[in-house]
Amino acid sequence: MTMKDVNSVWNECLRIIKDNVGREEFDAWFKPIKPVELIKDKHLVLRVPSHFYYEWLEANYVGLLKKTLRRVLGSGATLEYQVPVDSKNKKDMHIPSNRPEHFDPSISSMMELIKNPYAIPGLNNRLIKANNLNPSLTFDTFVEGSCNRLARSAGLRIAEKPGQTSFNPFVVYSDVGLGKTHLVHAIGNAILSKHPNKLVIYTTGEIFTSQFVQMLKRNAIDDFMQFYYNADVLIIDDVHHLSGKEKTQEVLFHIFNFLHNGKKQIILTTDQPPIKLKGFTERLLSRFKWGLSAELTTPDYETRKKILQIKLKQEGVALPGEIVEFIAKNVPGSIRDLEGVLISTLAHATLVGNNITLDLVRQIIGTHVEKSDLPLSIEQIAAAVTQKTGVTLEEMRSKSRKRNIVIARQLVMFLARELTSLPMKQIGTFLNRSDHTAVIYACSQIGEKQRTDQHLKKLIEGIKSALQSVN
């Protein structure tokens, strides 16, 4: 078809869409879309401004878009997005619209597949789509840092040889918003890329339980188990939601044994290390401990900065360096909070047209994160030590052995160890110390000295007081 024909088709779609959404919605989410190509009169390719646009359209308007396409192009019409991933080098990613118009987390339609798992042609592709692996959550967009290096490295090994490493099961645990879901989607997507014939099933603890209850009502537990027996890779996100659900755990126990004995890969995420999980049968917990458990911790400043830079690159948007650094320094909690602040900032810039200033970003941060809930960052501790001692962060990171600099450096290590949950290696890295024994020594020295040195004790109390006012 010619470009004129493509434009005519999309203009007709816009006319219909305009009658079904408000003017502001239409201007914000549909006007910026550009038609690219119409293939065989049925497959429409649309270019969207950014990955954020694609995600928003799929989450909020996919039903309207697909109904409109069928009305204009007839039954069998399909949709594909062209998404810029590198505006500088003009690189794009093509993503087909795979999300159902009415996606039900209980996946009732999937239950029909479970009942006859071997009788349906093309089962693997249908299951992968039903389980909704997000193609944008890859290792390329998962920023490596000291907070996740072990888990990321293990994930890459698993993607090369799923089920064939000693990391089986692979359990990833952390507080909310630190990247567990992104990592397991990245592993699943990498496996599909390297081993396209593997059946990767991604689900969550809640969906798994919901499916089990539905199949129990139908007296079809054998079918339910048979469905999961087909997996080459089983990923269960937030498996802690099975706590206290003994019957569901019983079924998972048998599925786990079947897959593990067949050298199939099992990947789990949870909010606690297996040893601390409550409400689980001992025999299931013992299996969780068979492989590798890896923790994701709060990202440090440099990692947060890289996350923001990659997100901006995906969106094809630039922000001043001082704005990026300000967000990275002042949102030290979860990655989810960090991305939420960035998305709101971009919305102010692209949709409302506001001039992005530090004051505006400070207000945005205040609406996303309760100040009292923010964990202290090592950057804040270092700043407070600088304020009380006059020793700069650059001096603390140097190799200087001057007494005042050594004391300031040790104070940062001591207070970071006491007031944050950061691992010692991360604290040492922040101060350009590669060996965590430097942190152990600093904590020991300051701990001993403050017992007899009243001046040092008052200095520590003053720094803590200053940090309380910050937080």
Q: Is residue 103 part of a domain?
A: no
Q: Are residues 369 and 413 in the same domain?
A: no
Based on the structure, what is the number of domains in the chain?
4
Greatest mean pLDDT among 23-27, 30-34, 81-85, 184-188 lies in: 184-188
Contact in structure between 14 and 20 (CB atoms under 8 Å):
no
Residue 359: what pLDDT? 77
**CATH number of the domain to which 48 belongs:** 3.30.300.180
CA atoms within 13 A on the CB side of 446: 25
pLDDT surpasses 90 at 448: no
Q: Is residue 254 part of a domain?
A: yes
Q: Are residues 311 and 449 in the same domain?
A: no
Lowest average pLDDT, out of 12-21, 261-270, 322-331, goes to: 322-331
10 Å CB burial of residue 243 (0-12, 13-18, 19+) is middle
Contact in structure between 62 and 54 (CB atoms under 8 Å):
no
Q: Which amino acid, one-letter code, is at 241?
A: H
Residue 116: what pLDDT? 35
Q: Are residues 182 and 274 in the same domain?
A: yes
Q: Are residues 128 and 245 in the same domain?
A: yes
Residue 100: what pLDDT? 57
Q: How far apart are CA 275 and CA 236, in angstroms?
A: 18
pLDDT surpasses 90 at 438: no
**CATH number of the domain to which 117 belongs:** 3.40.50.300
Q: Map tokens 């440099």 to a residue.
A: 302
The dihedral of CA 174, 177, 178, 182: what is its sign? Answer: positive
Which residue, 74, 69, 59, 60, is CA-closest to 35? Answer: 69
Q: Which amino acid, one-letter code, is at 40?
A: K
Average pLDDT taken over every residue of the chain: 83
Residue 349 gets which letter from DSSP? Answer: I
pLDDT band per the 50, 70, 90 thresholds, residue 106: very low
pLDDT band per the 50, 70, 90 thresholds, residue 94: confident
Q: Are residues 220 and 275 in the same domain?
A: yes
Q: Are residues 124 and 259 in the same domain?
A: yes
Residue 270: what pLDDT? 96
What is the DSSP pairing of strand 78-86 with strand 43-47? parallel
Q: Is residue 105 part of a domain?
A: no
**46-79 confidence digits (pLDDT tens):** 998 877 678 778 877 888 898 899 889 988 889 9
Q: Is residue 181 part of a domain?
A: yes
Helix-helix angle 221-229:108-115, to 10 degrees? 80
Q: How far apart are CA 395 and CA 399, in angstroms?
A: 8
pLDDT band per the 50, 70, 90 thresholds, residue 90: low
**CATH number of the domain to which 466 belongs:** 1.10.1750.10
pLDDT > 70: what percent of the chain?
A: 86
pLDDT surpasses 70 at 131: no
pLDDT surpasses 90 at 161: yes
Residue 400 gets which letter from DSSP? Answer: -
Q: Are residues 260 and 326 in the same domain?
A: no
Mean pLDDT of 192-214: 88
CA atoms within 13 A on the CB side of 113: 20
What is the DSSP pairing of strand 91-96 with strand 200-204? unpaired
Lowest average pLDDT, out of 14-28, 162-176, 193-207, 225-239, goes to: 14-28
What is the DSSP pairing of strand 200-204 with strand 43-47? unpaired
**372-389 confidence digits (pLDDT tens):** 445 677 888 999 999 999
Q: How far apart are CA 317 and CA 138, in angstroms?
A: 20
Residue 152: what pLDDT? 95
Residue 292: what pLDDT? 94
Residue 313: what pLDDT? 82
Residue 59: what pLDDT? 75
Q: Is residue 183 part of a domain?
A: yes
Q: Are residues 364 and 382 in the same domain?
A: no
Containing domain of residue 340, as a range?
A: 301-373
Q: Is residue 58 part of a domain?
A: yes
Q: Are residues 308 and 426 in the same domain?
A: no
pLDDT band per the 50, 70, 90 thresholds, residue 129: very low
Residue 117: what pLDDT? 32
Residue 420: what pLDDT? 79
Residue 375: what pLDDT? 61
Q: Are residues 290 and 315 in the same domain?
A: no
Q: Are residues 267 and 324 in the same domain?
A: no
Mean pLDDT of 415-441: 85
**CATH number of the domain to which 366 belongs:** 1.10.8.60
Q: Are residues 154 and 281 in the same domain?
A: yes
Q: How far apart are CA 412 and CA 404, in angstroms?
A: 13
Residue 241 gets which letter from DSSP? Answer: G
Which residue, 160, 170, 165, 166, is CA-closest to 190? Answer: 160
Single out the residue in 29, 64, 96 at which a domain terminates.
96
SS3 assignment, position 85: strand
pLDDT surpasses 80 at 126: no
Q: Is residue 161 part of a domain?
A: yes
H/E segment holding residue 35 = strand 34-39
Residue 120: what pLDDT? 32
Single out the residue in 48, 63, 96 at which a domain terminates.
96
pLDDT band per the 50, 70, 90 thresholds, residue 127: very low
Single out the residue in 373, 399, 432 at which a domain terminates.
373
Which pair of structure tokens corresponds to residue 122?
A: 């093309």
Mean pLDDT of 114-133: 41
List C-alpha distances in Å: 88 to 91, 137, 311, 314, 316. 8, 22, 14, 11, 8
Q: How far apart are CA 206 and CA 449, in angstroms?
A: 51
Q: Is residue 102 part of a domain?
A: no
Mean pLDDT of 152-168: 95
